[in-house]
Structure 1
Amino acid sequence: MADSRASAASAGFAEGVPCWLEAQLSDVEAGKRFYGELFGWTFEAAHATSTWAYSEGLAVAALVPKRDGRMPTVWTVHFATHDAAGTVRRIREAGGQVITTPVPVGPYGTMALAADPEGAVFGLWEGAEHAGFERRYEPGTFCRVELYSRDPEAVAPFYEDVPLGGLGEEGAGTPGAAADDVGTEDFGRSAVRDVFAAEMPPHFLVHFAVEDCETVLGTVIGLGGRIQVAPFDTSYGVVAVVTDNQGASFAVLQR
């Protein structure tokens, strides 16, 4: 496993692409049971209180305890940056909010937490020994993240100034977009009202690949989770939105 980790870290990720996921949970042990059963993940303690999840021996995500019970229970996507301090500066200049300034995470890299002008929260990761995902696009691993915003056109200039995954491109990842449009692979941008109730706040929704959406939904319910949005068709596959047994929302995607 050590060799594969070193190989992935040396390869790195392009600027602005999704490179890592973290779930902030009240009960990490309960999270390990839920996601271990759902996706077949195994787990290993990593830096401080962080627990890394593995799929077939390769790192795919992290589960971390909430530092404050008032914090939301969420999945957070991290975008790769080659200069965390510079990206944070551009976020502020573009009208975004910096929640956590860049901070070293042991020998693994540097992280920061920010939000766009509408309040959608995301992470930044400047990798060192740990570049990010060692496995993705396979069943039970990251395959896409969608930005749900109040007004996709209004927020687009922010992502032009702070390029994350092509989200500033017109039409990026919108439902029905052609397969070769910007954003239809790793990332996309949609209006909240396209899928959720109008009062849902802007947010990034992490998608995990699955082979059979209906089967996975049955497992989610059996594990104490719930279906938030029933399966619906998109240009990139069948998607359903669920919450785990602690309330963290995520999507499952059957290509």
Structure 2
Amino acid sequence: MAEYEEGAPCWVDAMFTDVEGAKSFYAEVLGWTFGESAGAYGAYTQAYSDGKAVAAVVPPMPGAEAPSQWCLYFASRDAAATAERIKAAGGTLLMGPMQIGSFGSMAIAKEPSGAVFGVWQPGDHQGFEKTGEPGSYAWAEVFTRDPAKADGFLAQVFPYETRRMGTGDDPETAGMDFTVFTLGAAGNPVLGRMRMGEEFPPQIPSYVQVYFAVPDCDEAVATARRLGGTLHFGPMDSPFGRFAAVTDQQGAAFAVIDMSTTVGEMPQMSDT
């Protein structure tokens, strides 16, 4: 498995009060199977798609009260050094950095506008064993009401270049405030940033939206709703695929996208 570049999304996990309920939900919506829980690591349980590790679920730590939510981890060659950059850029460390046995080192942090994310320095556990295919991670976006804070922070912590979507005369993206973060000389897109508008209730904080690939967006949405999930947006066609934003039955937000069903021309992009 290829090593993930510094700043590339490399893993996702989520904390659930009802882990068995979460496993049943995602088994039906995304087709996941689950391994044995690791008792030495808080009953951390990996999810698999076609036998390849794609995510993990875990119960809350004793005494902890936190909402169910997906956490996206970014690859780091040195979690301690990344943690220092996070603090220097105005972010907040919520946990770590800490060594997780031989698996690697992690930290959990919050960027200045409020979105929570993770940092992962790989050891035995490199990260996703499958991406961009049904049942696995496909994409992620930071949703924030303060784009300047989020953009400045991310570019200080990770070696990103930025491009802006919707500039020029593109009517499809007129008025959209969306930035794409890229890595490497080839400008590989790894993360999006969307400004939250008035359509988002004020009590919803900044967050990272994780997209999972599915073979049929509408079918995945129907299954999620049948199992107690809630549809918040879509399904909607786009040049990137047909997608929808949902929450599971425990309130964890995520999106599903069928990347084989694309409609329209790719939007214009420009350097910022």
Following TM superposition, by how much is the alpha carbon of 1:232 offset from its aligned partner in structure 2, in angstroms? 3.0
Give the TM-score taking structure 2 as reference length: 0.82
Following TM superposition, by how much is the alpha carbon of 1:63 offset from its aligned partner in structure 2, in angstroms? 0.3
Following TM superposition, by how much is the alpha carbon of 1:69 offset from its aligned partner in structure 2, in angstroms? 5.1
Following TM superposition, by how much is the alpha carbon of 1:131 offset from its aligned partner in structure 2, in angstroms? 0.5
Opposite residue 22 of structure 2, the aligned amino acid is G
1:62 aligns with 2:56: yes
Per-residue displacement from partner, 1:9-64 (whole Å, max 9, x unpaired)? xx321100000000110011111111111111111125421000011111000001
Give the TM-score taking structure 1 as reference length: 0.87
Judged with a 3 Å threshold, the aligned counterparts in structure 2 of structure 1 residues 53 and 114 are, in CA distance, closer, same or farther, namely same
Q: Which residue of structure 2 lines up, in the alignment, with residue 133 of structure 1?
A: 128
Q: Which residue of structure 1 lines up, in the alignment, with residue 222 of structure 2?
A: 218
Confirm or deny: 8 A CA contact 1:171 1:189 kept in the other structure. Answer: no
Q: Is there any run of 5+ residues in structure 1 with no aligned partner, and where?
A: 1-7
Opposite residue 155 of structure 1, the aligned amino acid is A
Judged with a 3 Å threshold, the aligned counterparts in structure 2 of structure 1 residues 120 and 86 are, in CA distance, closer, same or farther, namely same
Per-residue displacement from partner, 1:205-234 (whole Å, max 9, x unpaired)? 000011221111111111121112232344
After the TM superposition, list the runs of 4 or more consecutive aligned residues in structure 1 that deviate by more than 6 angstroms.
172-175
Opposite residue 17 of structure 2, the aligned amino acid is S
Q: Which residue of structure 2 lines up, in the alignment, with residue 147 of structure 1?
A: 142
SS in structure 1 at match of 2:67: coil
Confirm or deny: 8 A CA contact 1:148 1:189 kept in the other structure. Answer: yes
Alignment of 1:93-242 (within 5 A): 93-163=88-158, 166=160, 169-171=162-164, 176=173, 182=181, 185-193=189-197, 196-242=200-246
Choose 196-205 or 243-252, whichever is displaced more. Answer: 196-205
SS in structure 2 at match of 1:189: strand
Confirm or deny: 8 A CA contact 1:173 1:188 kept in the other structure. Answer: no
Choose 12-21 or 34-43, whichever is displaced more. Answer: 34-43
Following TM superposition, by how much is the alpha carbon of 1:163 offset from its aligned partner in structure 2, in angstroms? 1.6
Per-residue displacement from partner, 1:155-184 (whole Å, max 9, x unpaired)? 2111111127x3x6142799849xxx6558
Q: Which residue of structure 2 lines up, in the alignment, with residue 23 of structure 1?
A: 14
- Aligned sequence identity (%): 40
1:12 aligns with 2:6: no
Judged with a 3 Å threshold, the aligned counterparts in structure 2 of structure 1 residues 254 and 186 are, in CA distance, closer, same or farther, namely farther
What RMSD, in angstroms, separates the aligned Cα atoms of the two structures?
Answer: 2.3
Following TM superposition, by how much is the alpha carbon of 1:252 offset from its aligned partner in structure 2, in angstroms? 0.6
Q: Which residue of structure 2 lines up, in the alignment, with residue 5 of structure 1?
A: none
CA separation in 1, counterparts of 2:152 and 2:64? 34
SS in structure 2 at match of 1:193: coil
Choose 46-55 or 91-100, whichever is displaced more. Answer: 46-55
Larger radius of gyration between Structure 1 and Structure 2: 2
1:41 aligns with 2:45: no
